[in-house]
Amino acid sequence: MHTSLNIDRAHQGARINIPTYHSSNPCVSCLSKAYCLHKSIDINKLINPANHYVQKFKIKKGDPIFHNGDDHKHLYNVRDGYVKIEHSQPIGQHHINQFGMAGDLLGLDGWADGKHRYDAYALSDGELCSINVKQLHTAMKLDPAVTMIIEQLMSYALNCTQDHIFSLSTHSAEQKLAYFLIEYRNRLDHLDLRNTTIRLPMSREELRSYLGMTLETLSRSFTFLENKGYIAVKNKEVSFTDLDQLEALLEPSD
Amino acid sequence: MHTSLNIDRAHQGARINIPTYHSSNPCVSCLSKAYCLHKSIDINKLINPANHYVQKFKIKKGDPIFHNGDDHKHLYNVRDGYVKIEHSQPIGQHHINQFGMAGDLLGLDGWADGKHRYDAYALSDGELCSINVKQLHTAMKLDPAVTMIIEQLMSYALNCTQDHIFSLSTHSAEQKLAYFLIEYRNRLDHLDLRNTTIRLPMSREELRSYLGMTLETLSRSFTFLENKGYIAVKNKEVSFTDLDQLEALLEPSD
DNA sequence: CGCGCGGTTGATAACGGTCAAGACCCGTGG
DNA sequence: CCACGGGTCTTGACCGTTATCAACCGCGCG
């Protein structure tokens, strides 16, 4: 089935298990390393002091991470928790264009002209790694593998947004929700957080914004999928009761 | 694997005609240089033989440039003419996610996993520069400025797709068209092709796909904008008769 | 307990999709 | 040069999906 293949392939970045070492470098003992931009870099290189450009810190639900207009001094890698990336409109309107989870790289929007275009907020408590852009450039010179990873991650990010565009421009409301749920679940799968029940970290309002529909239509789409028996919804908990049928919804109608 | 300076033609089957390699660097005499990824690189560095990774070639309307599944061996910079980037669906359906014009860099989709995800075709006769990715990497090591440019262009591309997402998820059909026309005109402006009348290189069907609506709705949106007096439409020629009002359409309703 | 907030459900209207027909454009060939 | 034909584009009538407006539910909290 094509559409699901699409989803799967979009998230096929080969994720490698890297054995743990011990050092003062936060990356060396990082449990999320396998999902980070350092995933395929020789771990020994990270012990090099020149590569100490990563700093980890905790975030609490609601904390801002960066703002539109801020200087683009860091990239951020999510270690734990969930974040949203949104575009603030003048009249108090927001449009969310990304939900980030462990392993996602944030802040690529600022690289074009040195300023962030979007706002990022924590949707839950969590932990981030900030990556100093200047020092990252130094590391890129020292180790071409870092450059490769960054390129790949940016290309990957580009492909994800293209998938989003595809969904927005071709799917119905119910299909958009189904597509989102499947894709979201797949991303969790890759983090070994697979479960038949997932908990959505975002409110209906935030999801509405991401999917480009109204609150009411989103709510009706949830109940539609629930009545069909494809999912079970309890507030922010979603159980996948018939994944095959849910995916079948996305097949081009005959 | 390509280590020679000659442009390889390892695409499957006959693709595009790449002429034999000239001794002089095509960038040095390139008229489109100002819109290219080399725009802020010292031109003298381009004369360095190690930087001879660019090959220009002509394309004719309808020519494929790359295909989904192709190895990602080149990036392409548009010198002249117009191209479309589309995603082919199994059942003969296409979804266009980008229209490229002079100065646009194509093929970033393949960097994530080494294979192109999309198809690119010429919408008009034109001229492209193919940039060998391997040799580009060499150039990036030699000159960090190249790395910076690539990063910036990828970040810029990301931001453009985010703008597209924003339009798709918040605008009405007429607003989507207005937004597209304004943005398209702005891009032409940057190429010093400013004119009150522009000629769209794509068919209604192609534009329909890009904007995520039906042919009929697109057509009606054109006539809506025309009846309002904001534009004048004659086939693919569009004149901007009241740009201010057209832009006012995009302001959040009062 | 009552209030506020997030979420759901219902009735109605508007927008956009669908189906069908007609107009226009343009290349081809008489 | 015009007539023809096929594809592209536009217009019209109708219908389905989604937005809008409004009421209601359930839960947490002061």
Last residue of a domain, one of A105, A140, A164: A164
- pLDDT at position B149: 87
Min Cα–Cα distance to chain A from B155, Å: 5
Q: What is the mean pLDDT of chain A?
A: 84
| Residue A53, pLDDT above cutoff 90 | no
Q: Domain of A86: which CATH number?
A: 2.60.120.10
DSSP secondary structure string for all residues of B134-179: HHHHHHHHH-HHHHHHHHHHHHHHHHHHHHHHHHHHH--HHHHHHH
Stronger pLDDT, B172 or B49, i.e. the higher one: B172
CB A53 within 8 A of CB A74: no
| Residue B93, pLDDT above cutoff 70 | yes
DSSP annotation of A71 = B
- pLDDT at position A145: 84
- pLDDT at position B29: 65
Q: Is residue B253 part of a domain?
A: no
Residue of A nearest to B143 (CA): A141
* Whether residue B82 is found in the same domain as residue B156: yes
DSSP annotation of B198 = E
Mutation target among B118, B151, B211, B213 for the A interface, most CBs of A within 10 A: B151
* Whether residue A146 is found in the same domain as residue A196: no
- pLDDT at position A15: 34
Q: What is the mean pLDDT of chain B?
A: 84
pLDDT (mean) for B43-48: 57
- Look up the domain containing A83 and give its range: 4-164
The overall pTM is greater than 0.75: yes
Min Cα–Cα distance to chain B from A17, Å: 18
- At A169, is the pLDDT very low, low, confident or very high (cuts 50, 70, 90)? very high
Winning range, highest mean pLDDT, from B89-103, B181-195, B213-227: B213-227
Distance B83 CA to C23 C1' (A): 29
Chain centre to alpha carbon of residue A2: 23
Task: Determine the 3-state secondary structure of B124 from DSSP.
Answer: coil
- At B215, is the pLDDT very low, low, confident or very high (cuts 50, 70, 90)? very high
* Whether residue A182 is found in the same domain as residue A65: no
pLDDT in tens, B188-212: 998 878 789 999 999 999 999 999 9
* Whether residue A157 is found in the same domain as residue A197: no
pLDDT (mean) for A151-171: 96
Min Cα–Cα distance to chain B from A76, Å: 15
HSE on the CB side for B249, CA within 13 Å? 25
Last residue of a domain, one of A164, A187, A205: A164
Last residue of a domain, one of B164, B189, B218: B164
- pLDDT at position A24: 60
Q: Is residue A240 part of a domain?
A: yes
* Whether residue A56 is found in the same domain as residue A86: yes
| Residue A125, pLDDT above cutoff 90 | yes
Overall number of domains in chain A = 2
- pLDDT at position A195: 85
Q: Is residue A10 part of a domain?
A: yes
* Alpha-helical segments (H) within chain B: 43-47, 133-142, 144-170, 173-190, 204-211, 215-227, 243-248
- A145 CB contact with strand C at below 7 Å: no
DSSP secondary structure string for all residues of B50-69: GG--EEEEEE-TT-EEE-TT
| Residue B234, pLDDT above cutoff 60 | yes
Q: Which residue is nearest to nucleotide D27 (CA to C1')?
A: A235
Cβ–Cβ gap B112/A155 under 8 Å: yes
φ and ψ of B124, to 5 deg: -155, 170
